[in-house]
Amino acid sequence: MFSLDGKVAIITGATSGIGLTMAEKFVEAGARVVIAGRRRPEGEALAARLGKAARFKQTDVTIESQMKALVADAVSGFGRLDCIVNNAGGPAPVGSIESIPVDGFDAGMALLCRSVMLGMKHTAPIFRKQRSGSIVNIGSVAGNRAGLSSSMVYSMAKAGVIHLTKCVAMELGEVNVRVNCISPGGIATGIFGKALGLPIAEAEKTAEVMKASLAKLQPIPRAGLPEDIATCAVFLAADESSFINGQDIVVDGGLIGGRFWTAQQEGLNNLRKAFGVSPT
């Protein structure tokens, strides 16, 4: 694991799933962490479990005043700030373009994309002044390829996150502040249950159920895990990644790399049979 000794990080959406695992991994690597989320009981329980290296700040990432207060709390509580991981997210409206509700569209964009902008907006002055810092935004393979989410609103928002990351990286890179994105593939978390309307507690239980189906999505024959994304985030927060800027790092086991080798070979063999060509 890369060292984050002496660093302070904010992780939004850290009361469950990928964000929770990130908080654990960041503390394990030596960082002090501000856990941000809407659910106070879960956030306070996680902070208590992680000890003095963690504190919880109840935050709705769609509200600018609360994001501004979150950043201020990190600086006042730990004396500095070195990294923010804009991870908070959730499901967005599903269905065809003809049926998307405008209020659902706006809410999805606010949670999935505008919150990332707010995280960067309110940490940028701190990072610019100290001429150092790492911003890590969470995109998705659904932002890279159409058809990888049941929600086109989710896909659009994540595509926005990926491009916004690159735009801000070009600006802040000039003052030695790095801005990168991680695009997860099929990660076994409760987000799938939430997308189908399950209550949060029930949705979190579906993560284990998802592992079998997610294992079939990509060449690597297992489901993605929150640890896969958290480890990448630790790397991007660490000094060892100091020359990486403006990148969307896809962590998906090869999902968007192309067609499976076995399927391609089967298609080739079927073509040979149709043409009466003997296998070589």
Q: How many domains does the chain have?
A: 1
| Cβ contact 224:188 at 8 Å | yes
Mean pLDDT of the 95-100 span: 95
Distance, in Å, from the CA atom of 280 to the CA atom of 205, rounded to the nearest integer, reads 49
Question: Is 156 among the catalytic positions?
Answer: no
Examine residue 268 and state whether it is found in any structural domain, yes or no.
yes
Mean pLDDT of the 212-241 span: 95
pLDDT above 90 (res 37): yes
Examine residue 122 and state whether it is found in any structural domain, yes or no.
yes
CATH of residue 49's domain is 3.40.50.720
Q: How far is CA 247 from the centre of its chain?
A: 14
Which pLDDT score, from 0 to 100, does residue 198 have?
Answer: 66
Examine residue 3 and state whether it is found in any structural domain, yes or no.
no
Does the predicted model carry a pTM greater than 0.85?
A: yes
Which pLDDT score, from 0 to 100, does residue 280 have?
Answer: 66
One of 56, 127, 154, 235 is an active-site residue; which one?
A: 154
Range of the domain at 22: 8-275
Examine residue 149 and state whether it is found in any structural domain, yes or no.
yes
**CA-to-CA dists, residue 215 to 184, 212, 219, 221, 249, angstroms:** 14, 5, 9, 5, 20
Examine residue 148 and state whether it is found in any structural domain, yes or no.
yes
Which pLDDT score, from 0 to 100, does residue 196 have?
Answer: 63
